[in-house]
A and B are shown apart, each in its own frame.
Chain A
Amino acid sequence: MLRPALKRASYILALILMFLIGAELQSNGFIEEMLGYQEDVVYLTGQHIELVAISGGIAILIAIPLGVLLSRPGLAHIAETAMQGLNIGTTIPTLAILALSMSLLGIGTLPAVFGLCVASLLPIVRNTYTGLLEVPAHLREAAAGIGMTARQMLLQVEIPNALFVMFAGIRTALAINVGTVPLAFLIGGGGLGELIFTGIDLDEPVMMLAGAIPTALLAIVVDLLIAMLAFLIVPKGVNPLR
Chain B
Amino acid sequence: MIKIDNLTKIFDTPNGPVTAADNIQMEIPQGEICVLLGPSGCGKTTTLKMINRIIPPTSGRVFINGEDTSGLDTVDLRRNIGYVIQQIGLFPNMTIEENITAVPRLLGWDVNRYKARATELLEMVALDPAVFLKRYPKELSGGQQQRIGVARALAADPPVMLMDEPFGAIDPINREVIQDEFLKMQQELKKTIMFVSHDIDEAVKMANRIAIFRDGRLVQYDTPDDLLAHPKDSFVESFVGDDRALKRLRLVNVAQVMESPAPCVTPQDSLETALQQMEEHGYSHAITLVNQQQQPIGFVSKQVAQTTKGYCGEHYVGLKGLANINDDLRKIASLMFTHDSTWMPCVDDSGRLVGHISQRGITHYLGATYRRDGRQAAPYNLKLA
Contacts and interface: CB of A to CB of B under 8 A. Distances in A.
B106 interface: yes
B93 A157 contact: yes
Contacts of A147: 75-80, 103, 106
A143 B92 CA distance: 12
A160 B89 contact: no
A75 interface: no
Nearest to B79: A147
A6 interface: no
Interface string B138-172: 10000000000000110000000010000000000
A237 B137 contact: yes
A146 B106 contact: yes
Interface stretch (A115-123, A134-142, A185-193, A224-232): A134-142
Interface residues of A, number: 22
Given A142-B85, A149-B75, A236 B136 contact: yes
A190 to B, nearest CB: 41
A87 interface: no
Pick the most buried of B54, B76, B87, B138: most chain A CB atoms within 10 A of its CB: B87
A26 interface: no
A146 B83 contact: yes
A145 B136 contact: no
Contacts, number: 72
Interface string A173-189: 00000000000000000
Contacts of B54: 141, 144-145
B95 interface: yes
A146 B93 contact: no
A145 to B, nearest CB: 4
Interface string B116-145: 000000000000000000001110000000
B288 interface: no
B78 A238 contact: no
B52 interface: yes
A159 to B, nearest CB: 9
Pick the most buried of B76, B85, B92: most chain A CB atoms within 10 A of its CB: B92
A121 B78 CA distance: 38
B83 A145 contact: yes
A161 B138 CA distance: 13
A110 interface: no
Given A235-B94, A237-B94, A142 B89 contact: yes
Nearest to A164: B93
Contact of A141 (B85, B94, B136): B85
Interface string B86-119: 0101111111000000110010000000000000
Contacts of A237: 91-95, 136-138
A135 B106 CA distance: 21
Interface string B169-199: 0000000000000000000000000000000
A138 B137 CA distance: 15
B79 to A, nearest CB: 3
A152 interface: yes
Interface in B202-232: none
A146 B79 contact: yes
A238 B90 CA distance: 12
Interface string A212-242: 0000000000000000000000011110000
Interface of A: 136, 138-139, 141-149, 152, 156-157, 160-161, 163, 235-238
Top-10 shortest CB links A-B: A142-B89, A237-B136, A147-B79, A147-B78, A145-B83, A160-B93, A138-B87, A235-B93, A237-B92, A238-B93
24 contacts: A138-B87, A139-B91, A139-B92, A141-B85, A142-B91, A145-B52, A145-B54, A146-B79, A146-B102, A146-B106, A146-B152, A147-B77, A147-B103, A147-B106, A148-B75, A149-B75, A156-B94, A157-B91, A157-B93, A160-B93, A161-B92, A236-B136, A237-B136, A237-B138
